Amino acid sequence: EAGVAQSPRYKIIEKRQSVAFWCNPISGHATLYWYQQILGQGPKLLIQFQNNGVVDDSQLPKDRFSAERLKGVDSTLKIQPAKLEDSAVYLCASSLGSGGRYEQFFGPGTRLTVL
């Protein structure tokens, strides 16, 4: 079974530029998550989708971050404009359902460096 795919794996941009990350979850997983993981910290939830609807985006900085999952499968996360403090690894995860009893499977992440 294929895992969660993410691209690109690495991205270096200058502050105020835009960047987009892509995620393809495990087939059949209805729930998709985007996390931000700063070096030395645990992942922080940015947004959670159930199919193509947003369940939780309370910690998403909506003035610069946006995410979509139009067809309930793939998802993109965009940052516009980027700030230095956005340097982090962006992890995508998926699960069969919503709630803590469903295991989340993580992708390899995209490491973003903002100069």
Partner 1 sequence: KNQVEQSPQSLIILEGKNCTLQCNYTVSPFSNLRWYKQDTGRGPVSLTIMTFSENTKSNGRYTATLDADTKQSSLHITASQLSDSASYICVVSAQAGNTPLVFGKGTRLSVIA
DSSP-assigned beta bridge partners for residue 89: 37, 111
Q: Is 100 in the site for partner 1 (CB under 8 A)?
A: yes
Among positions 108, 112, 114, 115, the unique one binding partner 1 when judged by CB under 8 A: 108
The residue among 17 and 98 lying less far from partner 1, judged by its C-beta, is 98
Q: Is 51 in the site for partner 1 (CB under 8 A)?
A: no
CA distances to 8, 25, 41, 84, 99 from 14, rounded to whole Å, are: 16, 29, 23, 8, 37
What amino acid occupies position 65?
F
How many residues touch partner 1 (CB under 8 A)?
23
What is the spatial distance between Cα 47 and Cα 56, in angstroms, rounded to a whole number? 6
Q: Give me the 6-45 binding string for partner 1, x by CB under 8 A, dash otherwise.
A: ----------------------------------xxxxxx
Q: Is 111 in the site for partner 1 (CB under 8 A)?
A: yes
Token pair recorded at residue 61: 């900085």
The answer to whether residues 103 and 95 touch, using CB atoms and an 8 Å cutoff, is yes
Residue ranges binding partner 1 (CB under 8 A): 4, 40-45, 48, 55-56, 91, 93, 98-101, 103-104, 106-109, 111
